[in-house]
Amino acid sequence: MLVVLLTVLAVFGAAAPAYAVTAAEKAAVLSSFTQTSAGSYQNWNAARQNRAPWSAYGFDWGTDYCSASPDNPLGFDFKLSCWRHDFGYRNYKAIGAFSANKSRIDSAFYADLKRRCATYATAVRPACYSLAWTYYQAVSVFGSLTAVSNADLRAAADLKAQAT
């Protein structure tokens, strides 16, 4: 019986205990996922798409996208930028380091939005950049996107209409 048990363990492997991530390791990865660079965004997005290797970190991947503001204002897709912003806010709050990192998370959000705007036609970019600035100001001042008003959306729509 012992031989059979040892053979099964050898074939299937003994279940190793899960690797325990330290608080410093979690903070380091969280920092690497919330920088302003395109590489940081790409690394976060790759992890978002394949979360299994990151399960030991206990990250909160939840999102409400752009909260009460439109996720696709005037057809500009801000969803993933808002998701990464939520990721930074939620996870830094969870480790008790939100205040020290809020400004950088907000700056990364703005950088993400500007990179997204750069993918649109030159003629409509001013409207997209205007909305990006408005969304950034909302999170910078209020910590949420609920401050993006209908007047801001109308002003950006006017810019877009003038460009086309």
The pLDDT of 110-126, averaged and rounded, is 98
Between 161 and 30, name the one with better pLDDT.
30
For the stretch 18-29, pLDDT in tens is: 578 999 999 999
pLDDT at 156: 82
pLDDT at 6 over 70: no
The radius of gyration computed from the CA coordinates of the chain, to the nearest angstrom, equals 21
Q: Active-site residues: which are they?
A: 85
pLDDT class of 13 with cuts at 50, 70, 90:
very low
On the CB side of 144, how many CA atoms lie within 13 Å of its CA? 8
Q: What percent of the chain is predicted at pLDDT more than 90? A: 72
Output phi, psi for 105, to 5 deg.
Answer: -60, -45
pLDDT at 2 over 50: no
pLDDT at 10: 43
The pLDDT of 93-99, averaged and rounded, is 95
Between 147 and 80, name the one with better pLDDT.
80
pLDDT at 147: 56
pLDDT at 144 over 60: no
For the stretch 46-66, pLDDT in tens is: 999 999 999 999 999 999 999
Output phi, psi for 138, to 5 deg.
Answer: -60, -45
Domain 22-163 is in which class?
mainly alpha
pLDDT at 130: 97
pLDDT at 159: 83
Q: For the stretch 81-111, what's the b/e string if a residue is b when 16 or more beta carbons lie within 10 angstroms of its beta carbon? A: bbbbbbbbbebbeeeeebeebbeebbbbbbb
